[in-house]
């Protein structure tokens, strides 16, 4: 469409108007006779073909939402057909003006039918979790904090998705206490709040975990890596030494120091 000159555009529009004028006549004739009408079918096909570029242009705009472009073009073409059948030259608007909302509407309905409103927050949430895991993994591998492009490559996502997953994904993890978790119409549906009993050992553990996470902030990057490998991944000191290219004695000292730091913070 970029390559079209203004003259070509004008000519295209005139041609489109002529086609629609002939199509309107054919439509009326078809409605009156209720017989198959060759010219009607042919004009309709021509109009569809002439506007496939518009469908494609619009479908591409929605292609980053996780559905195949071919499918979007297909449903967009359904929208185009509807627009062709309903378009009225007398209204004095360009066909593209008229067809755009119809095509977009059809594409958006397709996403809704696919349960997209549920799937996307879930994907963001999952991406948010995997981003956090990938940060740790890459930090160990690279010996420094990874960059956004590195994370994107590692997770086969776009850089924008990574940023968004970090920003928005977190929010979707925080389920409201009033979120209904079950409900079959007869029994009163239950919310998450209903599941919370009295003092729960799990909650205390959660608190410990939060404290520990805060305490971890006092450690240097290398100390964190060592504790992570030693206690989460169960890697031996000798192996850690090899990976960090230092002596096993050094790892032992660093681990000792890190544990003491943690103990001091947690006792405060």
Partner 1 sequence: MHERTAGTVELRIPCRAEWVAVARLAVAAVAHRLNFSIEDIEDIKLAVAEACTNCILHATGSQQIEITCETHEDGLTVHVRDFGSGAAVENIRSAVHAEPQVGGLGVFLIRSLMDSVNYDVDPKRGTSLVMTKKVYD
In the complex, the smallest distance separating the C-beta of residue 167 from partner 1, rounded to whole angstroms, is 6
Residue of 15, 17, 61, 109 that binds partner 1 (CB under 8 A): 61
Q: Three-class SS of residue 191? A: strand
Does residue 62 interact with partner 1 by CB under 8 A? yes
Q: Three-class SS of residue 182? A: strand
Which CB atom, from 57 or from 216, has the smaller least distance to partner 1?
Answer: 57
Please choose, out of 37-45, 52-60, 126-134, 244-252, the segment that lies near partner 1 by the rule CB under 8 A. Answer: 52-60
Residues 81-110 interacting with partner 1 (rule: CB under 8 A): 94, 96-97, 100-101, 104-105, 108
Residue pair 178/196 in contact (Cβ under 8 Å)? The answer is: no
Longest dimension (CA), the chain: 95
Does residue 112 interact with partner 1 by CB under 8 A? yes
DSSP codes of every residue in 211-259:
HHHHHHTTS-HHHHHHHIIIIIS---HHHHHHHHTS-HHHHHHHHHHHH
Residue of 140, 168, 244, 246 that binds partner 1 (CB under 8 A): 168
Does residue 15 interact with partner 1 by CB under 8 A? no
In the complex, the smallest distance separating the C-beta of residue 62 from partner 1, rounded to whole angstroms, is 8
Residue of 117, 184, 198, 267 that binds partner 1 (CB under 8 A): 117
Interatomic CA distance for residues 264 and 268, integer angstroms: 6
Cα angle 235-239-241, degrees, rounded to a multiple of 5? 115
Does residue 164 interact with partner 1 by CB under 8 A? yes
Does residue 69 interact with partner 1 by CB under 8 A? no
Question: Binding marks (x or -) toward partner 1, 172..191, rule CB under 8 A?
Answer: ----x---------------
Task: List b or e across 108-123, with b for residues whose CB sees 16 or more CB atoms inside 10 angstroms.
Answer: eebbeeeebeeeeeeb
Interatomic CA distance for residues 234 and 232, integer angstroms: 6
Q: 116 is written with which tokens? A: 């997209």
Which CB atom, from 58 or from 241, has the smaller least distance to partner 1?
Answer: 58
Does residue 171 interact with partner 1 by CB under 8 A? yes
Interatomic CA distance for residues 89 and 6, integer angstroms: 22
Which CB atom, from 94 or from 207, has the smaller least distance to partner 1?
Answer: 94
Residue of 26, 47, 54, 225 that binds partner 1 (CB under 8 A): 54
In the complex, the smallest distance separating the C-beta of residue 177 from partner 1, rounded to whole angstroms, is 11
Question: With CB under 8 A, what is the number of residues at the site for partner 1?
Answer: 35
Interatomic CA distance for residues 63 and 73, integer angstroms: 10
Q: 194 is written with which tokens? A: 């209903």
Cα angle 191-196-201, degrees, rounded to a multiple of 5? 155
Return residues touching partner 1 (CB under 8 A): 1-2, 4, 6, 9, 13, 54, 57-58, 61-62, 65, 94, 96-97, 100-101, 104-105, 108, 111-112, 116-117, 120-121, 124, 159-160, 163-164, 167-168, 171, 176
């Amino acid at each position: 469409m970029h390559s079209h000159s203004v003259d070509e555009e004008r000519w295209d529009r005139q041609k489109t108007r002529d086609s629609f004028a002939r199509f309107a006549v054919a439509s009326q004739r078809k409605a009156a006779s209720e017989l198959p009408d060759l010219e009607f079918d042919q004009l309709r096909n021509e109009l569809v073909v002439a506007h496939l570029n518009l469908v494609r242009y619009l479908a591409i705009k929605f292609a980053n939402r996780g559905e195949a472009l071919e499918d979007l073009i297909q449903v967009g073409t359904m929208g185009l057909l509807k627009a062709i059948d309903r378009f009225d030259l007398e209204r004095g608007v360009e066909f593209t003006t008229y067809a755009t909302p119809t095509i977009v509407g059809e594409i958006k309905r397709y996403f809704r039918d696919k349960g997209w409103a549920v799937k996307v927050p879930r994907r963001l949430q999952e991406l948010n979790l995997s981003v956090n895991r990938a940060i740790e993994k890459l930090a160990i591998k690279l010996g420094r904090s990874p960059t956004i492009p590195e994370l994107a490559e590692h997770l086969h996502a776009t850089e924008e998705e990574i940023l968004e997953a970090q920003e928005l994904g977190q929010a979707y993890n925080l389920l409201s206490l009033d979120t209904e978790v079950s409900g079959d119409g007869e029994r009163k549906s239950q919310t998450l709040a209903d599941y919370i009993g009295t003092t729960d050992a799990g909650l205390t553990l959660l608190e410990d975990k939060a404290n520990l996470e805060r305490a971890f902030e006092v450690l240097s990057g290398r100390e964190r890596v060592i504790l992570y490998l030693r206690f989460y991944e169960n890697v031996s000191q000798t192996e850690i030494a090899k990976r960090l290219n230092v002596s096993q004695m050094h790892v032992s000292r660093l681990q000792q120091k890190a544990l003491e730091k943690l103990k001091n913070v947690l006792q405060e």
